[in-house]
Chain A
Amino acid sequence: MTELLLLSLFTGWILAQEKNISLLFEEPFLITSAGQSADVQLASILAKRAGIASVLSKLATPEELENAKTLVLVLGASLKGLGAAGLDMEKEKRRVNSIIEEAQKKNIPILCLHLGGEARRGQLSDELASVCLARAKMAIVVKGGNKDGFFTRKCREYNIPLVEVEKTVDALMPLMQKQISG
């Protein structure tokens, strides 16, 4: 009897955590890049598959937060992506900072995703990631990108939860509505 009670409490606690995550990050999401890597497109596909209402805007400006309830920053710098967007790192940092500030003014929570694994790390990516994580509510990263513990250290420093997933396809699983109990 005691065991059953404990199990029920534990299950309820787990479900409550997931519900807490879903409450923390309401829809619709505005998904944008922090670094212009191609992973932002991937995040959009994952959101669709997870049934999460979202808008993708690779070069999102503060004005685009008008109808959003959550700001998703997909971390990862790509010189190719920056070039294609007509940006350099300084311009991208300014854009990202401006949208983060606007999100904070409007009390819109920020979720950071790092989907590119080990290959999507490097000095440029890490610098921008630090800026984003400092003001985020949570980070979800593919494990391969955290082999050196960079995200673990940063999340601990900024006191935000870190969720690690094995594969990119699992990145938004914690946010899928069907996992949440009413």
Chain B
Amino acid sequence: MLKNKKVRPLRAISLLLLVAFFLAFFSSCQYKEVKIRKPPSNRHQSFNFLARKGMVVAAHPLAAQAGLEMLKEGGNAVDAAITASFALNVCEPFASGIGGGGFMVIYLASEKRITIINFREKAPSKTFAEILKEKEETKNFGLAVAVPGALAGWSYALRKYGTRNLADVMEGAIEMAEKGFTVSQTLSLINKDEFEKLILNAGEKTCYLNQGLPYEPGDLFENPELASTFRLICSKGIDEFYQDEIAKKIVKAVKDKGGVMTLEDLAAYEPIEQTPLEGSYKDYRVFTVPPPGSGGIHLIQLLNIIENWPIKKWGHNSTPYIHHFCEALRFIFSDREHYLGDPDFVDIPIARIISKEYAAEVASKIKPDRLLDDYPFGEFEEKAQKKESTTHLCVIDQEGNIVSQTQSINDFFGSGIVPEGTGILLNNHMDDFSSAPCSPNAPRPLQRPVSSMGPLIIFKKEEPFLVLGSPGGTRIFSSLTQIIINIIEFGMSLDEAIEAPRFFSFSEQGKAGSISLESRFPAQTLETLKRIGHEVTIKEAFDKYFGGAQGIMIIPRKKLILGGADSRRDGYGAGY
């Protein structure tokens, strides 16, 4: 009897514990709703967008939102990326669009496979060796226009890897172009910077000016002609752009400005699908675009060199870190100038350039307390550094598919040439060729110019960890490397890593170029760098010279997605 009385309470307690255990177990399996927080009004303050199922990070809130809506409607990452791309063409017209080109890195979760869509522009078939020199002498800006690849690339990606059609992904952009959007300070300032080019090439009546003057923040920007162009493409397909009426208008506009593009050039354009370039940094694997994208190959090269040094011990943005990093950049720019071109036209020793052995050789040459007198190989053209343009977007969907996409029309507002009635800004990517006749990147018919773009996906233990990319011309791979090191070595959160102060250097004719730094570096650091022998140039505190990175970080154990958007441009994340 006594024994029975003792057993009943014990059984009850056991039962209660069992119930409590199961309740705890099941509740941990449920997704907790992520609280949607608004970013702070001070955009420079570090802020990570949060999500559980999917995220789009892009250089404009409207584009990020457009991509997110597509994800919520059941579209996949490719659908959302193309939706955001068309939206960016409308709301960030100065940095990308169907008049330009770019690269897309796609991770297909079900196949655990990465593929690259290369929609980089091509030189027209009538390109000649002196084309850049002639452009400078005659100011015939049509000579700077390369055959656009963006629309063909987006369409290819959508057909092969998306689940929606062109009309679905263009709908939001058409509405935005018709109804207009509010001009940001970024757009207004860039519009003012490029005012002279737009007046000259697009004319006073262009929609890219507000009644012949730059847009002010708060103005409404409408582009009804672009909306009509988009509608035409929706109804007739991309052949309308590459072969039919729009093609004729493009060729006429280019020829009116002294260019050499033909209808056959447009009709012949096709994007290409490539195998990604792979590298590693410690336990992390990096997948990125191969040449003619130079951002990827040089990022891998730079990470390989840095791997030889005690970065963590030196400390974030310490003098030894900056000094060694910049010396490494100077060697890399020599390699860039010496080797990089379109692999369809030139042989590039890619495997050698991204080998750990070569990196160790370079690292061993660098002295801790002084600059080297000489940096072997090639030249880095000062002119090529000035571009801050281009845009990047990242997407992840709830199946785990990922897109990391960088695209551009080259300089802000490209060539400034707008084919009549189309609302399309044409690129000036012929300027990415080298004017040195013996360069592997000299202009040749149908060649793709070397690009600084380097969108990437990083894996940690076989799972996607970081999706990243940036505009910023030749500073792209340097800025991306600093962000990656900030996260992996210095333990920063994604947006903290993106907002952290940046620097850049290069070499020119074998001699060290100056180090450019954002003004947030301490005076003592600058003094020490100068004592070592560096020339130092100070930029703005958050200078878009160093790019405008967008990133996504995946934390599988927390089932959390973080989005980081650069305050140097109008970056924004949208997730659910």
Chain A, interface SS category: helix
In this assembly, does A135 line the interface, its C-beta being within 8 Å of a C-beta of chain B? no
Set B196, B214, B545: member contacting A168, Cβ < 8 A: B214
Taking the nearest CB of chain A, how far is it from the CB of B474, in angstroms?
14
**Within 8 Å CB of B193, what residues of A?**
37-38, 78, 80-81
Name B213's closest neighbour in chain A (CB-CB). Answer: A169
A119 and B185 alpha carbons, distance in the complex (Å): 7
What is the 8 Å Cβ interface bit string for chain B, positions 212-241, against chain A (1 contact, 0 not)?
111011000000000000000000000000
A117 and B216 form a contact (CB under 8 A) = yes
Contacts of B214 in A (CB 8 A): 42, 168
Does A62 count as interface, using CB distance less than 8 angstroms?
A: no
| Inter-subunit contact B519/A123 (CB<8 Å) | yes
CA A168 to CA B215, docked complex, whole Å:
9
**A167 located at the interface, meaning its Cβ lies under 8 Å from any Cβ of chain B in the complex:** yes
A42-B195, A123-B519 given as contacts; is B189 within 8 A of A116 (CB)? yes
Contact assessment for A167 and B216 in the assembled complex, using a CB-CB cutoff below 8 Å: yes
Interface centre among A46, A79, A118, A167 (most CB of B within 10 A): A79
Give A83's nearest chain B residue, CB to CB. B386
In Å, the complex CA distance between A39 and B539 comes to 20
Residues of B within 8 Å of A95, CB to CB, are none
Chain B residues within an 8 Å CB radius of A45: 199, 212-213
Q: Assuming the A-B contacts A83-B386, A123-B519, are A38 and B217 also in contact, with contact meaning beta carbons closer than 8 angstroms in the complex? A: no
**Chain B residues positioned under 8 Å from A122 (CB to CB):** 540
Check if A41 sits within 8 Å of B195, measured CB to CB: yes
Residues 555-569 of B contacting A (Cβ, < 8 Å): none
B103: min CB distance to chain A, Å:
26
Tell me whether A120 is interfacial, beta carbon within 8 Å: yes
Q: Within the assembled complex, what's the spacing in Å between the Cα atoms of A42 and B192?
A: 8
**Count of B interface residues, CB-CB < 8 Å:** 21
Interface residues in A32-90 (C-beta closer than 8 Å to B): 37-39, 41-42, 45-46, 78-81, 83-84
A144 at the interface (CB under 8 A from B): yes
Report which residue of B185, B194, B216 has the largest number of chain A beta carbons within 10 angstroms of its beta carbon. B216
A84 to B193, CA, bound (A): 12
A78 to B193 CA separation, bound complex (whole angstroms): 9
Cβ contacts under 8 Å, B189 to chain A: 116-117, 119-120
Q: What does the 1/0 interface line of A10-44 toward B look like (CB < 8 Å)?
A: 00000000000000000000000000011101100
Alpha-carbon distance A123/B193, docked complex (angstroms): 18
**Within 8 Å CB of B195, what residues of A?**
38, 41-42
Which residue of A is nearest B545, CB measured?
Answer: A79
Tell me which of B217, B519, B540 contacts A117 (CB under 8 A): B217
B1-44 vs A, Cβ < 8 Å mask (1 yes, 0 no): 00000000000000000000000000000000000000000000
| A39 and B192 contact, CB distance less than 8 A | yes
Shortest Cβ distance from A35 into chain B, in angstroms? 13
Per-residue CB contact flags for chain B residues 182-214 toward chain A (1 = under 8 Å, else 0) read 000110110011111001000000000001111
- The interface size of chain A toward B, counting residues with CB under 8 Å, comes to 25
Knowing A83-B386, A116-B189, the reply to whether A38 touches B539 (Cβ < 8 A) is no
User: How far in angstroms is the closest Cβ of chain B from A93?
Assistant: 16
Bound Cα distance A118, B216 (Å): 11
Roughly how many angstroms separate A97 CA and B211 CA in the complex, as a whole number?
35
- Contact A168 B216, CB 8 Å, known A41-B195, A122-B540: yes
Q: How far is the CA of A27 from the CA of B519 in the complex (A)?
A: 41
List residues of chain B with CB within 8 A of the CB of A118. 185
Chain B residue nearest to A78 (CB atoms) is B193
How far in angstroms is the closest Cβ of chain A from B41? Answer: 14
Q: Which residue of B lies closest to A167 (CB)?
A: B216
A123 cross-chain contacts in B, Cβ below 8 A: 519
Chain A's closest residue to B516 (CB) is A79
A40 to B265, CA, bound (A): 39
Pick the residue among B185, B186, B213, B540 that contacts A42 (CB under 8 A): B213
Q: How far is the CA of A45 from the CA of B211 in the complex (A)?
A: 12
Indicate with 1 or 0, residue by residue over A103-138, a CB within 8 angstroms of chain B CB atoms.
000000000000111111011000000000000000
A42 to B185, CA, bound (A): 17
Q: Which of A46, A122, A168 has the most CB of B within 10 A?
A: A168
Residues A168 and B213 in contact, CB atoms below 8 Å apart: yes
User: Shortest distance in angstroms between A123's beta carbon and chain B's nearest beta carbon?
Assistant: 7
Bound CA–CA A169/B195 (angstroms): 14
> Which A residues touch B199, using CB under 8 A?
41, 45
Q: Write the nearest CB–CB distance from B61 to chain A, whole angstroms.
A: 18
Whole-angstrom CA separation of A59 from B188 in the bound complex: 24
Complex: A118 Cα to B184 Cα, angstroms: 12
What is the minimal beta-carbon distance from A28 to any residue of chain B, in angstroms? 21
Provide a sorted-by-A list of 14 A–B residue pairs whose CB atoms are within 8 angstroms.
A39-B192, A42-B213, A46-B213, A81-B193, A84-B386, A116-B189, A116-B192, A118-B185, A119-B185, A119-B188, A120-B192, A144-B217, A168-B213, A169-B211
Known: A38-B192, A117-B189. 9 other contacts (CB 8 A): A38-B195, A38-B196, A42-B213, A80-B193, A116-B192, A117-B216, A119-B189, A120-B192, A168-B216
Q: Which 7 A-B pairs have the closest CB atoms?
A: A119-B189, A41-B196, A38-B193, A38-B195, A119-B185, A167-B216, A169-B213
User: Could you list which residues of chain A lie within 8 angstroms of chain B, going by C-beta atoms?
Assistant: 37-39, 41-42, 45-46, 78-81, 83-84, 115-120, 122-123, 144, 167-169
